[in-house]
Amino acid sequence: MEGTHTMPETIGPVQAPAVPPTPPVPLQALLAREDLALRQIAGPADPGIVIHGAHTSEMADPSPYLLGGELLLTAGVHIPKAAGPGPAEYFADYVSRIVAGGAAALGFGVAPVHDTVPPALVAACERQGLPLLEVPPPTAFSAVARAVWQLMARARLAELRRVTEAQQSLAAAAARPDPIPSVLRQLAQRLSGRAVLYGPDGTEVAGAGRVPEEGSAEAALAGLADVVRPAPHPAEAPSRPASATDTHGGVHLAVYALGAGEGFVLGVAGRRREAGDHTIASVAAVLLALLTGEHHSGAGAARSSALVRLLLGAPPEEVAPLLGAGRRLVVHARPETQAPDPVAASALGAALGSPLVDLADGIVRVLVPADREPRPQPGWTLGVSAPAEPGEWRAADTQAARALARARATRAPLLRHAARPALADLVPAADAEAHARTLLAPLAGQPALAETLRAWLSLHGSWDRTAVALGVHRNTVRQRVTRCAALLDTDLDDPDVRMELWFALRRG
């Protein structure tokens, strides 16, 4: 995000050197390369030490050419001959300059200039805490540099994969029936810390994970959120940054303002801060902004205008252009567990790529552009209509409802209305409808019987699946189907009868 407000860490009076924006490589990973045969002979053996590149220099003071975080390689050409195995002062000054330049480690090549690593250099690195590696004669400096870049490329690929997987899991979480807690849980898991959503008044709306240093770090995170939260009267206060970071007791803190002026803030806290953490948290912030914000845009105004016109009696064909050109799909969706709420319905619409969402009687209906292919959503069962023009949306709504019923009965995550040509298309529509009215006349005025018969036939005579699809008891299904057989005076076990009735029910 733009406008990041960062409070830099410092080492004594000197600010920590900046490092290039590349994934670091653990020094231990380089030492583990058997083909290089490197050996650490001084300095701390901390597994947390990382390097950001390799640089070769034979200058007595290479610090002006260091960016910070490098493995500095030298064959000792710069060492004055008069120094011999000492004096200690030369090596102490040399190591001090390297440390001041921000180098992460020093690699000393044995041969052809020196037969061994000077003991005074070993002692200086040990005193000043600089890891010192012995580079054996068969190993070229270029091989060491190549190995570093290979490890960095692998780290970059792993980081990209991590970010991509996190983005996918966050998007899936946003489409669940409980989107805000799901997104926060997924974010806390991906960052190995705690994720908190603060409301406009600063109170915690929801949270997931555990913050290290309970209490003090949690309070510091809540305080940092005030840095990015919009002022109550923006005209009277300076603009706030979109995000901010800080460190409290070794815990990394970051906050992100959600939306434009709504006041919600995302806060994250963790013991470590990886290269891709900011990207992952930014994706979560965008999703949470969609879930918490009321977006007043040109598209929103057009939707409002369309609603007003419909309420005033305008036909769908006239209103449809306000919603965008093209045909639409109607999607009916129902959660697998608890009843959906408006936030869950909006999140599902966002996952399907449409803001046109309706929630009623435990069913979410979404009007989706026909060129956006709906995909199964975790925690939801979906039924999808055939593409339809505005004048056909009512029929498409019925198609989606039937597809959802079949999906629930067959326990499929998504089913589409079958819109391929059939034998029914060979009969003129007027003749087919007249035949259907005559055949189904005994069921006229009893829509429950007709709908039960339709569902029962579509599910190949399964009592249990029909009961699930209609939300009634299986005995009710048996009674209704038996009543249909009596009224129609026909044998419903006859496949020819079933085919004719199915044809009529589809046309009726």
In this predicted structure, the answer to whether residue 448 has a pLDDT above a threshold of 80 is: yes
The 3-state secondary structure of 284-308, one letter per residue: HHHHHHHHHCCCCCHHHHHHHHHHH
In this predicted structure, the answer to whether residue 356 has a pLDDT above a threshold of 50 is yes
Q: Is 252 a residue whose pLDDT tops 90?
A: no
Q: What is the average per-residue pLDDT within 338-365?
A: 80
How far apart are alpha carbons 336 and 364 in whole angstroms?
12
Report whether pLDDT(267) > 60.
yes
Q: CA 127, CA 129: separation in Å to the nearest integer?
A: 6
Query: Closest by alpha carbon to 104, among 150, 58, 46?
Result: 46
> What pLDDT does residue 142 have?
94
- Residues 139 and 36: beta-carbon distance below 8 Å: yes
Of the ranges 15-19, 201-205, 269-273, 443-447, the best mean pLDDT one: 443-447
- In this structure, the strands spanning 132-135 and 39-42 are antiparallel
CA–CA distance, 38 with 106 (Å, rounded to integer): 12
Beta partners for residue 50, in sequence order = 26
Residue type, 186: Q
Identify the CA nearest to 451 among candidates 466, 437, 441, 463. 466
Q: Which of 58, 151, 153 is nearest to 106 (CA)?
A: 58
Closest by CA position to 105, among listed 128, 71, 54? 71
What's the token pair of residue 331?
A: 């999607």
Q: What is the DSSP string of 192-233?
A: TEEEEEE-TTS-EEEEEE--SSTTHHHHHHHHHHHHHSPPSS
What CATH number is given for 175-292 in this structure? 3.30.450.30
Match domain 4-149 to its CATH number in 3.40.1390.20, 3.40.50.1820, 1.10.274.10, 3.90.1150.10.
3.40.1390.20
Q: What is the rounded (10 degree) CA torsion for 119, 120, 124, 125?
A: -30
Q: What is the mean pLDDT of residues 76-99?
A: 82
Beta-ladder partners of 382 = 333, 414
d(CA 332, CA 54): 57
Mean pLDDT of 245-251: 83
The predicted pLDDT at position 60 comes to: 92
Cis peptide bond N-terminal to 87, omega within 30: yes
Tell me, what's the pLDDT at 306? Answer: 66
pLDDT at 424 over 60: no
| C-beta of residue 253 within 8 angstroms of C-beta of residue 220 | yes
Do the bridges between strand 251-257 and strand 265-270 make them parallel or antiparallel, or are there none, so unpaired? antiparallel
Domain spans of the chain, in order of start: 4-149, 175-292, 326-416, 423-507
Confidence of residue 297 (pLDDT cuts 50, 70, 90): very low
Q: Under DSSP, is residue 362 helix (H, G, I), strand (E, B) or coil?
A: coil
Residue with the bigger pLDDT between 427 and 277: it is 277
pLDDT tens by residue, 122-155: 999 999 999 999 999 999 999 999 999 999 888 8
Residue closest to 137 by CA, chosen among 163, 122, 115: 115
Q: Mind listing the pLDDT tens digit for each residue in 452-491?
A: 998 899 888 899 989 888 888 999 999 999 999 999 998 9
- 423-507: same fold as 175-292? no
Quick one: CATH architecture of 423-507? Orthogonal Bundle (1.10)
pTM of the complete model: 0.47
- Residue 19: the pLDDT is 40
Q: What is the pLDDT of residue 17?
A: 40
What are the residue ranges of helices labelled H in 389-473? 393-410, 429-439, 447-458, 463-470
* Rg from Cα positions in the chain: 34
493 φ/ψ sector (left φ>0, alpha ψ -120 to 50, else beta): alpha
175 vs 54: CA distance, rounded Å = 45
Comparing CA positions, the residue from 399, 398, 433 lying closest to residue 418 is 399
- The CA distance from 280 to 224, in Å, is 19
Long-range own/partner contacts, residues 154-159 (CB < 8 A, 24 or more apart): 155/23, 155/24, 155/25, 156/22, 156/23, 158/23, 159/23, 159/274, 159/275, 159/276
Running DSSP on this structure, what letter comes out for residue 106? E
Q: Pick the more confident residue, 202 or 102.
A: 102
- pLDDT on residue 70: 93
